Amino acid sequence: MSHVLTLIADRSATTLSAAVIARVRTAIDGGPPDMLSPGEATDIPCRVVPDPAVVERALEGAPIDAIATPARNRRKGLLVADMDSTIVTSETLDELAGYAGLKDKIASITKRSMNGELDFAEALQLRVGMLKGLGLEALEKTWARTKLTPGARELVATMRKHNATTALVSGGFTFFTGRVAEMLGFHLHRANTLLDDGAALTGEVGEPILDRDAKLATLRELAAARNLKLSATLAVGDGANDLAMIQEAGLGVAYHAKPIVAAAARARVDHGNLRALLFAQGYRVGDIVGG
- Residue 274's φ and ψ, nearest 5 degrees, are -70, -10
Spatial distance between the Cα atoms of 245 and 243, rounded to a whole number of angstroms: 6
Q: What 3-state class would DSSP assign to 288? A: coil
In a domain, 38, yes or no: yes
Query: Where in the sequence is the domain holding 51, given as residue range(s)?
Result: 1-72
Contact 2, 247 (CB under 8 A): no
Using CA atoms, how far apart are residues 186 and 182, in angstroms rounded to an integer?
7
Report, as residue numbers or ranges, the catalytic residues: 82, 84
Residue 238 lies in a domain: no
Number of folded domains that form the chain: 1
Q: Does 234 map to a domain?
A: no
Confidence tier at 14 by pLDDT (50, 70, 90):
confident
Q: Is residue 33 part of a domain?
A: yes
* SS3 label, residue 38: coil
CA dist., res. 238 & res. 267, Å (int): 12
Q: Which of 197, 153, 196, 148 is nearest to 173 (CA)?
A: 196
Nearest to 172 by CA among 220, 133, 124: 124
User: 166-185 b/e with 16+ CB inside 10 Å = b?
Assistant: bbbbbbbbbbbbeebbeebe
Residue in 197, 193, 146, 200 with CA at minimum distance from that of residue 174: 193
Model confidence over 85-117: pLDDT tens digits?
999 999 999 999 999 999 999 999 999 999 889
Q: For residue range 50-65, list pLDDT tens digits in order.
A: 999 999 999 999 999 9
> Would you say residue 96 lies in a domain?
no
Q: What is the pTM of this model?
A: 0.95
Any domain includes 162: no
Domain assignment present for residue 98? The answer is: no
Quick: pLDDT tens for 247-290.
999 999 999 999 999 999 999 999 999 999 999 999 999 999 98
State pLDDT tens for residues 15-57.
899 999 999 999 999 999 999 999 999 999 999 999 999 999 9
Residue 236 lies in a domain: no
- CATH number of the domain where residue 16 is located: 3.30.70.260
